[in-house]
Structure 1
Amino acid sequence: MRANSEKTLARTGVYAFLVISAAFFLMPFYVMVVTSLKTMDEIRVTSIFALPDAPTLQAWVTAWQSACTGLNCNGLSVGFFNSVMIMVPATVLSILLGAVTGYALSFWRPKGTELIFGILLVAAFIPYQVFIYPLVRMLSQVGLYNSLAGIVAIHVIFGMPIMVLLFRNYYAGLPRDLFSAARVDGGGFWVIFIRLILPLSPPILIVAVILQSTHIWNDFLFGLVFAGSDNQPMTVLLNNIVNSTQGEKAYNVNMAATILTAAVPLIIYLASGRWFVRGIAACAVKG
């Protein structure tokens, strides 16, 4: 009886700690939601924790359609579609190139494999700010600066090191007998990759898609420097809305705009969180 009561007490303590921790980390999100549902008159006279007396979605509509970013008052909708056009091709290309390169470094091992892998590994930890000015000059020379193709290329380039690291380590843990048997049967580089390696890759592909898509969506620095005024992603427009100095600070619109900007990566994590955990576990086992 005493042992059971101690286990119950310990379990209760753990759950209480988890509930308190969750409430602590969710409190800012709660404040953002309730503030976005209030009018400015209500925000001025009530506590930030108080529920809205008459909830309204007007701030959300304004943030999406007509919030001003400088002289333009088109809201976040333009930035949303820009972010989609940047994220989708950059994610697909970086994962495809990372998978092929990781496959080559794991099974085919051309000359200089270890050197190439070492360079990619080092590049993954160099601060992005070091490369900004050289990249601006390079993209300007080839006519890709301030263009959609340019910002996609930047995300592909900087996504390659971590993608190669992920896929190379995952493929290195696959049984080499499968690869050797495919070689004996006459399979070439692309045949083995498409018909054997890719069908074994869903766990690492899921991890790569989640990591790369959320990283690209949340990016601010590259979008600000390389995208140009016509291709600014959602994060850049959010910064412009929040830091606008025209008139009063519309805290309800700012909160709504922040939630809208964070909605896509949040939905990705909520929808595929368990697959992400399974993919990480599978990679750990394979590695």
Structure 2
Amino acid sequence: MQNFHRFVIWSLLLGFAAMFLGPLYVMVVTSLKDMNEIRSGGLLALPDNPSLGAWAKAWSSACTGTDCGGLKPFFMNSTLMVVPAVLVSSALGAINGYIISKWRFRGSEVIFGLMLFGVFMPMQVVLLPMSQVLGWLGISSSIWGLVLVHVLAGIPSTTLFFRNYYVGLPDELIKAAMLDGAGFWRIFWRIVLPLSTPILVVTLIWQFTNIWNDFLYGVVFSGGDSKPVTVGLNNLANTSSVVKEYNVDMAAAMIAALPTLAIYVIAGKYFVRGLTAGAVKG
């Protein structure tokens, strides 16, 4: 009976894995075929003569509207946007969580509660006021404008993560350091931050994924030279041509997804460890 239950569990797990990995498999094999093979072969068939020609075209010469420079400039824009946005929003979240959990003051829980509204607020609500703010600052339709938008949008989530993690750290550590004469920043850098590796990994992965995959902010707040890769992918897929090149579309989608896939493959186990170490703890 135990072996039967194990067989059922493994069958279900393998079935779910196949269901989720099936689209990824189709994208990869289609991107390695030429159009003649796509028309004549089956959707799930492996390529007879694998080629990276579709990948090269998607990267450097596919048309995204009137421009035919491929996804390369959009990919570079996303990289320039994601790195500072992830680092700044994570740093501010760590400081906020540290203050709210270990340097409590009158009204700190009220402020934390108000910040939580940002976690559940629909993104569409901030489009108009954020556009006005970016216009006042003179950074609308620029990469730095996108960085600011993602930093502000990410602070509620990063604060929540770090606050819930820091609540589990013993208050005695902070009090002992204060008795030894350590101040606010010294305690943070020397004691709190070195203990924050699990939740720091969770926050970095979470923010990277959200910002890299974002489309709404990218299409609303970017200009001609600052569009992220998600907008470029949408433009490529919707650009009309004589023949629809599905292999190029699939290759472009894989190129846009590679950074997040790589992050989860390399650091996925640390993400799970960080979550169990306190990221969702009340």
Separation in 1 of the partners of 2:138 and 2:77?
19
Distance 1:187 1:239, change over 3 A: same
In 2 relative to 1, CA 220–50 (structure 1 residues): closer, same or farther, beyond 3 Å? same
Partner of 1:136: 131
**Aligned equivalents of 2:281, 2:220: Cα separation in 1:** 39
Aligned counterpart, 1:248? 243
AA at the equivalent of 1:193: F
Q: State the distance in 1 between where 2:106 and 2:80 align.
A: 37
Percentage of matched positions with identical amino acids: 51
- 2:191 and 2:37 mapped to 1: Cα distance? 61
Q: Displacement, 1:286?
A: 6.5
Of 262, 267, 272 in structure 2, the residue corresponding to residue 272 of structure 1 is 267
Moved more, 18-27 or 253-262: 18-27
8 Å contact 1:174–1:286 — kept in the other structure?
no
CA deviation string 1:156-210 (max 9, x = no partner): 0000001001111111111001111111111111111111110110011010011
Q: Is residue 2:62 matched to residue 1:67?
A: yes
Residue 49 in structure 1 maps to residue 27 in structure 2: no
Q: Partner amino acid for 1:218? A: N
Select which of 248, 253, 256 maps to 1:258.
253
Aligned position for 2:213? 218
Question: Which runs of no fewer than 5 residues in structure 2 stay unpaired?
Answer: none
Which among 183, 187, 190 is matched to residue 188 of structure 1? 183
What is the TM-score with the length of structure 2 in the denominator?
Answer: 0.97
The amino acid across from 1:259 in the alignment is M
Residue of structure 2 equivalent to 1:83: 78
Residues of 2 paired with 1:247 and 1:111: CA distance? 66
Q: Equivalent residue for 1:3?
A: none
Change beyond 3 A, Cα 1:126–1:60: same
Tell me the distance in 1 between the aligned counterparts of 2:280 and 2:148: 33
Match of 1:282 among 267, 277, 281: 277
- 1:207 matches 2:209: no
Q: Which moved more, 1:109-118 or 1:121-130?
A: 109-118
Q: CA deviation at 1:81?
A: 1.2
Backbone CA RMSD of aligned residues:
1.3
Residue ranges of structure 1 left out of the alignment (5+ in a row): 1-5
In the other structure, the counterpart of 1:96 is 91
Query: Amino acid of the residue matched to residue 186 of structure 1?
Result: G
Amino acid at match of 1:22: A
CA offset digits 1:114-159 (Å, max 9, x no partner): 2210110012101010110111111112201011111100000000
Secondary structure in structure 2 of the residue aligned to 1:124 = helix
Amino acid at match of 2:166: Y
- Which whole-Å deviations, capped at 9, do the CAs of 1:194-229 have from their partners, x for residues lacking one? 111101100110100110011111011111111211
Task: Provide the aligned length of Structure 1 versus Structure 2.
Answer: 282
Deviates more, 1:11-20 or 1:168-177: 11-20
Q: Does residue 1:232 correspond to 2:227, yes or no?
A: yes
Residues 1:172 and 1:137: Cα distance change in structure 2 (over 3 Å): same
Amino acid in the other structure paired with 2:134: L
**Alignment deviations for residues 53-103 of structure 1 (CA, whole Å, 9 cap, x no partner):** 222111011001111111111111111111111110000000000000110
